[in-house]
Structure 1
Amino acid sequence: MSQSFIELGPGYSDFFEFEELIHYNHERIRSVVALHTTLEQEPKTSILVIMNPTRQGHFQGIYSTFESLPYPYPVSNKRFDFIREWAGRYELPFLEYEIKAIHYFHERELFYNYLTGVLRLQRQLPPLS
């Protein structure tokens, strides 16, 4: 199986692409995940929409926007509330984890490998077999 991060940008138009993605593909979505970098001076939140693998080709897409939302605790923010509401509308699992920030990794691919490991440990991605 091939798994790939499909990165959307940090802007508002990219953010609202998540709404359309959830609306039109909610039956294929495995979970919506918020990743928090709480050990930073200015904590940020990333959002992932993890799809179930395709029937043909065995491809699993992970739509993502990294460190583009303000950390929502103790005071939430509108974009985080929207994501949570969109997931709730279709009764999708909404999960939250703490992770290391991207800047700790010399290459983007190393960050993706780290994140894949975290998601596999949390059973959000199936093992490669």
Structure 2
Amino acid sequence: MIQRFIELGEGYGDVFELCELANLNKNRIHHAFIFTSKKEDKEYFSIAVALKPINNANFFPIYICREGIPNTAQVPKRLLAFKKTLEDIQIQPIQIDIKHSSTFVDTNLFYQYIIGVLRLNHLIPPLQ
């Protein structure tokens, strides 16, 4: 099974696109994720939705808005919008601490790292 991240952006207007994607595909949602990472003592959120494959397709997409939501004293409105969308469709997000993408030379390596973390925790299906 091909498991691939599809980056919608870095969490500005793209959060609302991800929310709409979750609403339209609520029956296909495998899991929703809130990833937390640190860079230079600042914390950032990435949000993602993993969708089940369609029919017999061998493709497992994970849509993500990467590290565009800074963790501030007040909960960011974009994160609240994502949580509200998930609450409306009765999906509980899974929160995971990960390394920041700047730790990796290439974004593809970053996404392979997250896929490894998700597989090890049995949050996405193993390779077949």
CA distance in 2, matches of 1:11, 1:116: 20
* Runs ≥4 residues deviating over 6 A: none
Cα distance, 1:122 vs. partner? Answer: 2.1
| Matches for 1:26-105 after TM superposition, within 5 Å | 26-38=26-38, 40-71=40-71, 75-105=74-104
User: Which sits farther off after the overlay, 27-36 or 14-23?
Assistant: 14-23
Aligned 8 A contact 1:30 1:93 in 2: no
Count of residues paired in the alignment: 128
In structure 2, the residue corresponding to 1:50 is in which secondary structure? Answer: strand
Cα distance, 1:93 vs. partner? Answer: 2.5
2:118 corresponds to: 119
TM-score by length of 2: 0.91
Cα distance, 1:7 vs. partner? Answer: 0.4
CA distance in 1, matches of 2:95, 2:109: 21
CA distance in 2, matches of 1:106, 1:12: 24
CA distance in 2, matches of 1:14, 1:83: 11
CA distance in 1, matches of 2:66, 2:89: 23
Cα distance, 1:92 vs. partner? Answer: 1.1
What 5-or-longer segments of structure 1 have no aligned partner? none
CA distance in 1, matches of 2:78, 2:13: 12
In structure 2, the residue corresponding to 1:16 is in which secondary structure? Answer: helix
Cα distance, 1:38 vs. partner? Answer: 3.8
1:109 corresponds to: 108
TM-score by length of 1: 0.91
2:17 corresponds to: 17
What 5-or-longer segments of structure 2 have no aligned partner? none
